[in-house]
Structure 1
Amino acid sequence: MDGKGWNTWGEGAAFGLQNGMAVIPYALLKYYRKLNLSGSEAMLLIHLLSFRQVEGIEFPSLEELQNVTGRSISVIAGELQKLMKEGFISIDGDNDELRDIHYEQYNFSGLYSKLGAYLAEAAQEAAQGKTAGHAQTSRTAGRYSGNPAAAAPGEVEESRNLFSIFEKEFGRPLSPMECETISGWVDQDRYPEELILLALKESVFAGKVHFRYIDRILLEWARNRVKNAQDVKNYSQNFRGR
């Protein structure tokens, strides 16, 4: 980048900083899906926090929210209603007697409480897992060394750590993107853990141990209503018999 380019970049950065900065809880960015929030709902919370911190607007209008999100007022209203119903935000009202006006503002204590509770629970689980984690992972991973179609559903459902099993099969730590992919299979696509592990084993047997191949297996099974080990077995037999 030449001197002119650096000047342009610097001017843009300076302009952005002069327009203010909002402090967003990192836990919200990292764990919003664990709280069953969609990406747009999490972004709406971020906008509400930003309006308060940067612009001093405690209760932005639907039109103001529409301008920054680019989504329809009806969608925004629906998301706000859900956030209030599930206790992430609430609305406080008060009167300014000096100016004789009534005003409202969003209260984020529910959001902070939920984030705090999740972090405390995660920390407790991590502490408990330090003593038995290694042995449990070895025992759990060992259950899935056979044919995936023959895996017992009860055994598969005992798994509590998909990440550890995937790391064992891949022979390395998972990347953040790979962890996000597994979380998406569970939280968004609603694939049973049993099915995810069976797809992993199919990829191992095929010699194609990578996430794209596993995702294609899961998608193919979903299209054909394959939901458990028996369905996988039946589907495999029908597929080979074609």
Structure 2
Amino acid sequence: MGMGEGWKVWANGIAYGLEKGSASVPYALLAHYQKLKLSDTEAMLLIQLLAFRQLEMKDFPAMEEIEQRMGATPSVVASAMRRLMKEGWLSIDEVTDPQGVRAERYNLTGMYHKLSVCLAEDTAAQRQKERNAVEEETEAIEDQQRNLFVVFEKEFARPLSPMECETISGWLDQDGYPDELIRLALKEAVFAGKVHFRYIDRILLEWSRNRVKNAQDVKAYTQRFRGNK
């Protein structure tokens, strides 16, 4: 078969498949069936029942049809069907049409319910994870602030006022100064004998203007500044 003929056969196959239509399968079933402890066979059985209903209008396909479609033995299909019914994934309803003819159909409400619960639990778990991350970050920031307050109180030899605590918080939260940089600015103020917040704030502002961001930058900047004096 030439390349052109092969392409034509492939295209015809695709066209035939598209003519037959497509079945809508809940993404949650494909994504979470293993988490929900379904076997490949059980998940495929549910998918086949969806396909029979949507494309062939068969609400109660014969077991032989299911077995043939899945390429599975009667015992395998029967075992999967029993477990799905036992676990509440599907049930069988008796229905009567307008002419009074009784029939049976597979009811997949249980499947949709289980998938909904699974998605709700996943969403709740994700939100809790996000909340925990926010709480951990908040606790880390609070620990950082508490530690800085202790360092400042030690150097000032007195408790900090509410305004001073707010200033430190502002350096961290609003100005974005690293904890390390604030400690070094305090150290510089002590070295200069000017232990007050206004002087420390001027140091931080000066460092920010000169792109001083860490201890190494501070060392280089200080040496250059003092060397030019």
Q: Normalized against structure 1, the TM-score is what? A: 0.52
| Structure 2 unmatched ranges of 5 or more | 138-229
Q: 1:95 to 1:129 in 2, by over 3 A?
A: same
Matches of 2:32 and 2:121 in 1, distance apart?
A: 13
Matches of 1:6 and 1:71 in 2, distance apart?
A: 32
Q: Does 1:116 align with 2:78?
A: no
Q: Tell me by how many angstroms 1:72 deviates.
A: 1.4
Task: Quote the residue 1:94 is aligned against.
Answer: 95
Task: Quote the residue 1:57 is aligned against.
Answer: 58
Q: Tell me by how many angstroms 1:133 deviates.
A: 4.1
Matches of 1:110 and 1:96 in 2, distance apart?
A: 23
Task: Quote the residue 1:5 is aligned against.
Answer: 6
| Structure 1 unmatched ranges of 5 or more | 137-242
Task: Quote the residue 2:152 is aligned against.
Answer: none
Amino acid of the residue matched to residue 78 of structure 1?
Answer: S
Q: Deviations over 1:45-67 (max 9, x none)?
A: 00010000011110011101111
Amino acid of the residue matched to residue 31 of structure 1?
Answer: H
Q: Tell me by how many angstroms 1:19 deviates.
A: 1.6
Q: Give identity over the alignment, percent.
A: 44
Task: Quote the residue 1:129 is aligned against.
Answer: 129
Q: Tell me by how many angstroms 1:74 deviates.
A: 1.9
Q: Tell me by how many angstroms 1:96 deviates.
A: 2.1
Matches of 1:6 and 1:12 in 2, distance apart?
A: 10
Q: Tell me by how many angstroms 1:132 deviates.
A: 2.4
Task: Quote the residue 1:103 is aligned against.
Answer: 103
Q: Tell me by how many angstroms 1:43 deviates.
A: 0.4
Q: Tell me by how many angstroms 1:120 deviates.
A: 0.7
Amino acid of the residue matched to residue 112 of structure 1?
Answer: Y
What aligned pairs does 1:55-94 form with structure 2 within 5 A after superposition? Answer: 55-94=56-95
Paired residue secondary structure (2:34): helix
Amino acid of the residue matched to residue 10 of structure 2?
Answer: W
Matches of 2:71 and 2:3 in 1, distance apart?
A: 35
- Comparing both chains, which one has the higher relative contact order based on Cα–Cα distances under 8 Å and sequence gaps of 6 or more? 1
Q: Considering only CA atoms, is the larger Rg found in Structure 1 or Structure 2?
A: 2
Q: Deviations over 1:60-97 (max 9, x none)?
A: 11101111111111221121111011110011111124
Q: Deviations over 1:115-163 (max 9, x none)?
A: 0111111111101101324959xxxxxxxxxxxxxxxxxxxxxxxxxxx
**Runs of 4+ off more than 3 Å:** 1-5, 133-136
Q: Does 1:15 align with 2:16?
A: yes
